Structure 1
């Protein structure tokens, strides 16, 4: 095979695919704007479709329901983090790989998110999830699913059997707990920028070792 053929870039999506992408992005941005301005539970699919100037049927072509729209950008961010973890050098210890992957993820997330919605809207939605019981419950359920994927990825990376070796799930349980504490603290603070959550994430992950092995009492 010709090397020029191998290096040839992938063809651009056709007009039909670009229109579908624009429609989905419009629906998603409209849904998040309505969720964050008037509340998730007070927003209906009909309102989202009307504001996006499409039919309800079109909405359901792209999203099974409101919850899927609410978490669409979070799902993108999760895949971004998983990809960052897969790319970590094999010599890094598991917890260090998780730490570096999540911090790298925050460093590069803006571009990924802004290909779909403004990052400010993503962060507003992030806060809404933390403060809306039905969304928080869904978020915790989704987090458990992501943590299982992370545990399996760590097991594969380290060459251990996740079914018999508890360490991948233990490491991910600690990591996931730190991330939930970070999210909760960030969502109630005054600064809800990407830089703020990245800084808070780094600070809290740095406390894992001392918190688990050190004494907490002041002298």
Structure 2
């Protein structure tokens, strides 16, 4: 009876592991195809066939190609939100978000590479930027993430996000900088993770001077 009970208890875990492996294989294959063939030249049937499953199985894990194309991005967003939640309560909101994103680079590779090579993740940015339907979805998700961040910051600071505009304003500024950084990096010559990290730091360093500094003052004055 104990053996049967033990076997029964382990079965759901094994099932979940198999499902995760199937999902990861589909996602990894989708990203590889999107970055080599192009998004428009890849079909759900192509992805499913490469993993040796049916299209019906693909749709158990993803609502469609767009969902698969943005899945790695969703993982990194969740990683960032968790990092902000973990920041010390005494840090001001902008500092907490900055430290979360900058220190998050150290663990981002491990998060992404649990599914796909980091190089493919980086190349997906170019695919997203050059594919109108994906870019539109990406920007829509960006707006949704901003709202999640505003709610999180308001909770950290003990504020009512609908009564106090500061959480949404702070997140809008931070998100705007991240979007500009993402766009500049994806069209630059150095398409590496280190380059993205360095450009992010450079652009975030400009937030204070851009908002309160005198732009007409000579450099170094």
1:75-125 per-position Cα deviation (integer Å, ceiling 9, x unaligned): 010000000000000111110111001111222101111111111111111
Residue 133 of structure 1 and its aligned partner are, at CA, apart by 1.4
TM-score of the two chains, using structure 2 as the length reference: 0.91
1:136-190 per-position Cα deviation (integer Å, ceiling 9, x unaligned): 1111000000000000000000011101100000000000100010001100112
Residue 193 of structure 1 and its aligned partner are, at CA, apart by 1.7
Matched ranges for 1:1-219 at <5 A = 14-217=13-216, 219=218
Residue 212 of structure 1 and its aligned partner are, at CA, apart by 1.0
RMSD, aligned α-carbons: 1.5
SS in 2 for 1:191: coil
Q: d(CA) in 2 for partners of 1:14 and 1:213?
A: 54
Residue 15 of structure 1 and its aligned partner are, at CA, apart by 2.4
Residue 215 of structure 1 and its aligned partner are, at CA, apart by 2.1
Q: d(CA) in 2 for partners of 1:95 and 1:77?
A: 19
Unpaired runs of 5+ in structure 2? 1-9
TM-score of the two chains, using structure 1 as the length reference: 0.91
Unpaired runs of 5+ in structure 1? 1-10
SS in 2 for 1:113: helix
For structure 1, which segment, 79-88 or 209-218, has the greater mean C-alpha deviation from structure 2 after superposition? Answer: 209-218
Q: d(CA) in 2 for partners of 1:167 and 1:15?
A: 46
Q: d(CA) in 2 for partners of 1:12 and 1:217?
A: 68
